[in-house]
């Protein structure tokens, strides 16, 4: 009996010890869990799971950790942090929202970059995404802007292919028609115009195309006839045709040939010393030609008989050669120039014909006409000034018009200052022409003052034209208080380089105005 009681006592003690240990352990887990929840950070939750990996709080601890990491992702709000979350929790509680936020970030980056590749990358990644329609619209707009910027047929056609019902489809078709028309018109051939008409039988350039086609058909007939009248009629009937320049050149060649033939015929019939002089002027020996020119100066023959021979001695640089060589030099061209200048009015008509019909020597003839100073030459010189694409002698024409000082020329010289003839002129001579017109306008004095002020004050005037006009106005020196006040107002709005011209002009005008007041006071006294 005693042995039974001892055994029972021992078992009871063991049971009590186990119960104590169990109650103590549960109390410790609860305490640890409450501490982790109270701290609510990753470190505490990780420590708890490390110590108690299979406790009743394990699942809740894992959820808490996921929520903390999601909160961290929301705080950072970057594509990379959301992707890290999805990598750790591919089936997580916030998977759908994480994917949606990544898509929004990708779309925002695409909009910020605003380039085709970014929008296409978005559509590729999210073919049914919430911003897919907007991305398509952005791509269409970028393609349209690119087409407008580069303005090529291919890009407009690509736009129409990709967006047959696009928002700019009508504009694209209109631009394609314009490009095809411009190409046809630039080519300027009969087949090019026929091609346009075949593509656009009711196009917006139908009138221009039909007119150009009519000109091409007429030109074929003119070339076959090859007469002065045929070219004159063509120029009068089709002044806007691209063949006008060829028609003018051909007309000049025929007219000069005709004029030359008449003079040669008269020459062969001549029986006086002029015939010998003409042959000497046309000889190959430069010194002999120079002596012949000197003889022509000293002997007043019938100048119409020897004018052609003298004119044919003129090179393109007669102005320079005449100024450098002078009458006393032996240069044949200088001698010829001197003879023609001395001949005066009798040389004007032949020089005008040569100037208009033989563009190679237009500059020489224009210079000599300026030296003779007969206003009969005004209109032909204006014509040369207006057609630099034919004569390339606008500067010489402007200089001579300044010497003539015929008021009919002033509007054209002012146009020259504004570069109105530059689009047709070789680029190397544009500046020279503007400067030449500027110096010519100065010779007109007060008659040009109001027009120069209009050019200076106009907001559409090119800056170089304003500078040249200021230079001319200062040199003319005709002033008034109103002019000075208007120019002073420009000081605060013009650039530094132009301001130098403006200051120089104002100084000249103020000095002139002050001198005028002094003279007025002296006359009153």
What's the rounded Cα separation, in Å, for the pair 388 and 421? 7
Contact of 434 with 424, CB cutoff 8 Å:
no
- From the list 370, 374, 441, 372, the residue with the least C-alpha distance to 411 is 441
In which band, very low, low, confident or very high, does the pLDDT at 266 lie, cut at 50, 70 and 90?
Answer: low
Mean per-residue pLDDT of the chain: 78
Contact of 364 with 314, CB cutoff 8 Å:
yes
* Strand ranges for 359-472 from DSSP E: none
Contact of 260 with 308, CB cutoff 8 Å:
yes
Tens digits of residue pLDDT in 109-143: 888 888 888 888 888 888 888 888 888 888 888 88
Give whole-number Cα distances, 275 to 110, 257, 278, 285, in Å.
88, 20, 5, 17
Highest mean pLDDT among 4-13, 52-61, 204-213: 204-213
Q: What pLDDT is recorded for position 320?
A: 45
- From the list 128, 108, 77, the residue with the least C-alpha distance to 119 is 108
In which band, very low, low, confident or very high, does the pLDDT at 440 lie, cut at 50, 70 and 90?
Answer: very high
Tens digits of residue pLDDT in 290-349: 566 656 655 555 555 556 666 666 654 444 444 544 444 446 667 677 777 877 887 788
Burial class, 185, CB count within 10 angstroms (exposed 0-12 / middle 13-18 / buried 19+): middle
Q: What is the mean pLDDT of residues 155-168?
A: 88
Tens digits of residue pLDDT in 477-524: 776 777 877 888 787 778 888 888 888 888 887 776 555 555 555 555
Q: What is the pTM of this model?
A: 0.46
Q: What pLDDT is recorded for position 310?
A: 64
Tens digits of residue pLDDT in 163-214: 888 889 999 999 999 999 898 888 888 898 899 889 899 888 988 889 888 9
Contact of 334 with 326, CB cutoff 8 Å:
yes
Q: Is the pLDDT of residue 46 over 80?
A: yes
């Amino acid at each position: 009996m005693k042995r039974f009681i001892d055994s029972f006592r021992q078992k009871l003690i063991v049971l009590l010890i186990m119960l104590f240990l169990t109650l103590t352990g549960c109390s410790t887990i609860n305490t640890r869990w409450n501490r982790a929840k109270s701290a609510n950070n990753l470190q505490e939750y990780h420590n708890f799971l490390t110590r108690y990996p299979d406790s009743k709080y394990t699942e809740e601890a894992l959820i808490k950790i996921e929520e903390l990491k999601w909160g961290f992702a929301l705080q950072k709000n970057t594509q990379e942090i959301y992707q890290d979350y999805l990598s750790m929790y591919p089936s997580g509680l916030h998977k759908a929202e994480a994917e949606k936020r990544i898509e929004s970030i990708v779309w925002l980056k695409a909009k910020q970059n605003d380039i085709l590749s970014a929008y296409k990358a978005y559509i590729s990644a999210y073919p049914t995404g919430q911003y897919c329609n907007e991305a398509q619209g952005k791509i269409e707009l970028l393609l349209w802007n690119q087409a407008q910027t580069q303005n090529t047929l291919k890009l407009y056609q690509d736009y129409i292919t990709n967006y047959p019902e696009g928002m700019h489809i009508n504009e694209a078709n209109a631009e394609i028609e314009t490009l095809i028309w411009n190409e046809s018109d630039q080519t300027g051939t009969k087949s090019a115009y026929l091609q346009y008409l075949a593509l656009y039988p009711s196009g917006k350039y139908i009138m221009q195309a039909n007119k150009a086609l009519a000109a091409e058909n007429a030109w074929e007939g003119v070339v076959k006839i090859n007469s002065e009248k045929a070219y004159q009629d063509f120029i009068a009937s089709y002044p806007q045709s691209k063949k006008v320049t060829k028609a003018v050149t051909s007309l000049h060649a025929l007219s000069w040939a005709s004029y030359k033939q008449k003079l040669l015929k008269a020459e062969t019939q001549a029986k006086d010393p002029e015939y010998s002089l003409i042959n000497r002027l046309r000889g190959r020996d430069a010194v002999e030609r120079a002596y012949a020119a000197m003889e022509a100066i000293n002997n007043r023959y019938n100048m119409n008989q020897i004018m052609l021979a003298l004119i044919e001695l003129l090179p393109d640089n007669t102005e320079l050669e005449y100024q450098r060589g002078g009458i006393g030099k032996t240069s044949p061209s200088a001698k010829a120039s001197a003879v023609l200048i001395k001949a005066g009015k009798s040389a004007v008509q032949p020089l005008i014909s040569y100037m208009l019909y033989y563009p190679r020597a237009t500059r020489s003839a224009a210079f000599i006409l300026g030296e003779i100073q007969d206003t009969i030459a005004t209109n032909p010189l204006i014509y040369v000034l207006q057609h630099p694409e034919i004569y390339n002698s606008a500067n010489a024409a402007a200089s001579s018009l300044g010497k003539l000082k015929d008021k009919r020329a002033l509007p054209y010289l002012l146009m020259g200052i504004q570069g109105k003839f530059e689009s047709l002129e070789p680029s190397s001579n544009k500046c020279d022409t503007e400067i030449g017109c500027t110096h010519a306008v100065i010779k007109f004095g007060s008659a040009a003052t109001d027009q120069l002020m209009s050019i200076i004050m106009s907001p559409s005037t090119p800056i170089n034209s304003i500078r040249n006009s200021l230079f001319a106005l200062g040199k003319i020196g005709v002033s008034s208080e109103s002019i000075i006040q208007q120019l002073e107002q420009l000081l605060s709005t013009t650039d530094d380089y132009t301001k130098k011209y403006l200051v120089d002009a104002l100084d000249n005008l103020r000095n002139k105005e002050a001198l005028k007041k002094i003279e007025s006071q002296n006359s009153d006294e």
